[in-house]
Amino acid sequence: MERALILVVDDDPLNLVVLSQTLQPQYRVMTARNGEEALTLSAQHPVDLILLDIKMPGLDGYEVLKHLKNQSDTQSIPVIFISANDSHADEAKGLEMGAMDYITKPFSPPIVQVRVKNQLTIKQKNDLLEKLVSIDGLTEINNRRFFDENIAKEWRRTARSNEEMVMLIIDIDHFKLFNDNYGHRAGDECLKLVATTIKSLCQRGSDFVARYGGEEFAAVFSPCALEDAIKQAERLQKAIYDLMIPHQFSPTSDYVTISIGVASSRSEGVVDENSLIEVADKHLYMAKEAGRNQVKAG
Ligand SMILES: Nc1nc2c(ncn2[C@@H]2O[C@H](COP(=O)(O)OP(=O)(O)OP(=O)(O)O)[C@@H](O)[C@H]2O)c(=O)[nH]1
């Protein structure tokens, strides 16, 4: 595993050197001489922990912490305050604002090392927990919770940059008949295979896929033009057919097939992420009505 990345922020160059030397054997260390630089670096790099001096010219440690907590990308980075100030009121203020720990100067290197290690252990556990609650237990792709949290974020991001965003709702055809005839266990295996195939074909940049419901999946592409998403949906449809999972009870085909509804942020009637989902769902319904094993978009 890669060594954790620690950002040390202090306006005193000597402190930066001593803290870097204290941490460097075990961790990767970046340094910042002021609050502004700290915010820039933490926005640009996947920082695991910040050691933050309180009294600095310009933005002080409290203000830096406030900015970090206001940004979704940085709000979960643990912060340990380092300060010459050993007033209990200041310590309480820092912890109240969301700092994880507080070390007073002059610091002892072994204590800094232990406190850093403790916070990194907690962060690793939190990261794992965060990952686990976003993953579907059966298919091991993102779950509905992940989808709900990210569709709104993605909508805001593409709206800000005036880009086009597309959503696919993908549904396995006649899956009840599959379960009823081959058994629930075989149904589970089929779901896993379909999920893995969909995921492997949707790996570009900020694209994401999720299990949306029982035998329904969602894929979100952004930025993406509707015509390109339709081509991708057709590729998906073919890829699932090409798996040649026997489904002799399906009135549609001898193999498992999918129907896909596609909608874009520029489709008629789409004003937010909820209407995007509704329009994609409407197109899925049309694909089912038109005979299944096809893509409908608009
Ligand atoms: N094996 C298995 N089956 C599931 C799971 N989740 C949902 N299902 C099944 O998926 C089936 C969905 O059936 P329907 O909603 O009637 O749809 P369908 O039979 O696929 O028909 P169309 O969508 O109209 O083509 C039901 O039989 C559910 O029990 C799961 O985790 N495992």
pLDDT in tens, the chain (298 residues): 689 999 999 999 999 999 999 999 899 999 999 999 999 999 999 999 999 999 999 999 999 999 999 988 899 999 999 988 678 888 899 999 999 999 998 889 999 999 999 999 999 999 899 889 999 999 999 999 999 999 999 999 899 999 999 999 999 999 999 999 999 999 999 999 999 999 999 888 779 999 999 999 999 999 999 999 999 999 999 999 999 999 999 999 999 999 999 999 999 999 999 999 999 999 999 999 999 999 999 8
E runs forming strands in the chain: 5-9, 28-32, 49-53, 79-83, 101-104, 166-172, 208-211, 216-221, 258-264, 295-297
Minimum-distance ligand 1 atom for the alpha carbon of 171? 23
User: Residue ranges per domain, the chain?
Assistant: 5-132, 144-297
CATH classification number, 5-132, choose in 3.40.50.150, 3.30.930.10, 3.40.50.2300, 2.102.10.10: 3.40.50.2300
Name the CATH architecture for the domain at 144-297: 2-Layer Sandwich (3.30)
Of the candidates 242, 266, 264, the one whose C-alpha atom is nearest the C-alpha of residue 253 is: 242
How far, in Å, from the CA of 262 to the mean position of ligand 1? 20
Structure tokens at 35: 């609050």
How far, in Å, from the CA of 202 to the mean position of ligand 1? 23
How far, in Å, from the CA of 30 to the mean position of ligand 1? 51
Minimum-distance ligand 1 atom for the alpha carbon of 188? 1
Same fold, 5-132 and 144-297: no
Of the candidates 167, 193, 181, the one whose C-alpha atom is nearest the C-alpha of residue 248 is: 181
**Distances in Å between the alpha carbon of 94 and those of 52, 64, 241?**
11, 11, 58
Q: Is 175 in the pocket of ligand 1 (CB under 6 A)?
A: yes
DSSP codes, 246-273: B-TT-SS-SB--EEEEEEETTSTT--SH
Structure tokens at 194: 């379909």
Which residue(s) pair with 53 in the sheet? 82
How far, in Å, from the CA of 180 to the mean position of ligand 1? 10
ipTM score for this prediction: 0.96
Q: Is 180 in the pocket of ligand 1 (CB under 6 A)?
A: no
How far, in Å, from the CA of 176 to the mean position of ligand 1? 5
* Positive/negative CA dihedral, 257, 261, 196, 148: negative
Instruction: Supply the pTM of this predicted model.
Output: 0.77
